[in-house]
Structure 1
Amino acid sequence: MDEKITSRDNARIKYACRLSASAAFRRSEGRFFAEGRKLCPELAKGAELEILFYTAAAAEKCPELFGLSGQHYLVEDHVADKLAGVPAHQGVFGVFRTPVHTLDEVKAGGRYLALESVQDPGNVGTLLRSAAAFGFDGVILSEGCASPYAPKTLRASMGAAVQLPVIEAGEMPPVIAQLRAKGVECLAAALYHSQPLGAAQTAGPGGVCVVIGSEGQGLTEATIAACDRTVRIPMTDRVESLNAGIAGSILLWHFRGAGL
């Protein structure tokens, strides 16, 4: 029988809560925290599950949890409330080892998404999910982006954060230079001095990287200048712009993988 945790002050519970709250702590530990009956098993397909916490009610509803790897702990409801931070939760929580990916994995002929300072975790999670859905080979995040392993981002990505390589890089212009050196064409999403998306050809033999900025600020001038071309999504004048999650998903669909 799995060990039972009855105290909110248990060291493992405090550790998991720190992972949930702090991006810096997640980076230093090389681990992240997630919550959800569907999300945790999905994440376990692409990241090593080290610790699983579950309530008695969750175990009754999801007996398949016992087939997951890692150390398992039954937690009382008030302990689960602390892990979740809110009273409404699904009673399943996990501590995972963070996958590590680098720019060395970028290959000519691939499809990539690069995000510059997209701070909203919902948008980052949505774009990770869209990139996985449309056959992209990886996602590159500049400094200033929402953490792909923050709880809100994980919920929005529905496990996509471990379904494809997610590379956390520094400033975007040097990253673009590295991709172009490998033959990957880099396309900046911006309104000015750009061609309509319909006129933009799909990825050539060298591959493509779609580069997207935040909804409020867009891409920096330095990043736009570093890219090969600039593209825009044609729209009516009824709206000024689309949010990054929607705009990026349209671009990703346009440059989707073969057979989709």
Structure 2
Amino acid sequence: MEAITSRENAKIKYACRLREEEKLRAADGLFFAEGPKLCLELARGCELRTLYATAAALARTPALSRFADRTVEVAPHVAEKLAGTRSSQDVFGIFVQPVTDADALLGTARRVLALEGVQDPGNVGTLLRSAAAFGFDAVLLGPGCAAPFAPKTLRASMGAAGRLPFAAVRDLPAALTALRSRGVVCLAAALYHSEPLDTAPRAYPGGLCVVIGSEGRGLTDPTVAACDRAVRIPMTDLVESLNAGVAGSVLLWHFRGV
């Protein structure tokens, strides 16, 4: 097994750049993940290119042994450099980003989560995890959304980004129109000109797309107009709104397909 003891090793420097730079992740089609549990989860749906781990971490997690042919042992001080968190988990993976054709997704997906302007990686990760938990089979990412394979998003999604097909679309209203053209009902989460969630039908035989915007701005008018109807979550007057991760998860649970 290859071993690295220098923090200045070229492979370690590249892994750190991959952790920090979205442009590099997009250009190379790779992403960086930290932690034994997250790496094992991601390996169920994504190709693992290289696993970096300390000897102690490998001993603590025998399940990692199945990646022995792709494992590079690193010294503890090298693991500290690789860590994107204050306390290193001593296991790091470089994975190949799965690629989904947007046209194919729009032509086949039946239970879809669509996001617009959800910039917080924690919210995007939470929504990906909820979509996987509640039986949705695809995700559309409109303009302004946090990258699904950024480290913070990955941690919040706990590997769901590797199990759900998703596609980034520049024109979300056009994508919603394409879904509606084949019978998928699109529901916008909106505070105004909307109906209470508990009055909306729960069953959609032709398919369903739940559309979520950011907490601060919500959905744009063109996106709301591209949907079949708008729904809101009934709440008390004690709070003005829920963040996108919470609100979206409530909607995904309400329209669950499990």
Instruction: Compute the TM-score of the two structures, normalised by the length of structure 1.
Output: 0.95
RMSD: 1.3
Secondary structure at 1:135 match in 2 = coil
Q: Aligned partners of 1:117 and 1:196: how far apart in 2?
A: 23
Secondary structure at 1:24 match in 2 = helix
Residue of structure 2 equivalent to 1:78: 77
Residue of structure 2 equivalent to 1:43: 42
Structure 1: runs of 5+ lacking an equivalent: none
Query: Contact 1:109 / 1:206 at 8 angstroms: preserved in 2?
Result: no
Q: Give 1:100's aligned amino acid.
A: V
Q: Aligned partners of 1:229 and 1:87: how far apart in 2?
A: 45
Secondary structure at 1:106 match in 2 = helix
CA shift at 1:105, angstroms? 2.2
Q: After TM superposition, what 4+ stretches of structure 1 lie above 4 angstroms from structure 2?
A: none
When structure 1 is superposed on structure 2, of 146-155 and 101-110 the one drifting more is 101-110
Secondary structure at 1:68 match in 2 = helix
How many residue pairs end up in the alignment?
257
Query: Contact 2:106 / 2:175 at 8 angstroms: preserved in 1?
Result: no
Residue of structure 2 equivalent to 1:146: 146
CA shift at 1:168, angstroms? 1.6
Residue of structure 2 equivalent to 1:215: 215
Q: Give 1:94's aligned amino acid.
A: G
Residue of structure 2 equivalent to 1:64: 63
Query: Contact 2:106 / 2:178 at 8 angstroms: preserved in 1?
Result: no
When structure 1 is superposed on structure 2, of 16-25 and 45-54 the one drifting more is 16-25
Q: Give 1:99's aligned amino acid.
A: P
Secondary structure at 1:38 match in 2 = helix
Q: Aligned partners of 2:157 and 2:69: how far apart in 1?
A: 23
Residue of structure 1 equivalent to 2:162: 162
Q: Aligned partners of 2:203 and 2:112: how far apart in 1?
A: 10
Q: Give 1:118's aligned amino acid.
A: V
Question: What are the superposed Cα offsets for residues 73-105 of structure 1, whole Å, 9 maximum, x if unpaired?
Answer: 000111111111444011000000000112312
Query: Contact 1:109 / 1:208 at 8 angstroms: preserved in 2?
Result: no
Alignment of 1:164-243 (within 5 A): 164-243=164-243
Q: Aligned partners of 2:6 and 2:32: how far apart in 1?
A: 19
Residue of structure 2 equivalent to 1:15: 14
Q: Aligned partners of 2:41 and 2:69: how far apart in 1?
A: 14
Residue of structure 1 equivalent to 2:52: 53
Q: Give 1:205's aligned amino acid.
A: P
CA shift at 1:19, angstroms? 1.2
Per the alignment, do residues 74 and 46 of structure 1 end up closer, same or farther by CA in structure 2, a change over 3 Å counting? same
CA shift at 1:7, angstroms? 1.1
Query: Contact 1:141 / 1:168 at 8 angstroms: preserved in 2?
Result: yes
CA shift at 1:181, angstroms? 1.7
When structure 1 is superposed on structure 2, of 177-186 and 156-165 the one drifting more is 177-186
Q: Aligned partners of 1:107 and 1:206: how far apart in 2?
A: 12
Q: Aligned partners of 1:86 and 1:136: how far apart in 2?
A: 30
Q: Aligned partners of 1:69 and 1:242: how far apart in 2?
A: 44
Per the alignment, do residues 108 and 203 of structure 1 end up closer, same or farther by CA in structure 2, a change over 3 Å counting? farther
Per the alignment, do residues 81 and 207 of structure 1 end up closer, same or farther by CA in structure 2, a change over 3 Å counting? same
Q: Give 1:248's aligned amino acid.
A: G
Residue of structure 2 equivalent to 1:116: 116
Instruction: Compute the TM-score of the two structures, normalised by the length of structure 2.
Output: 0.96
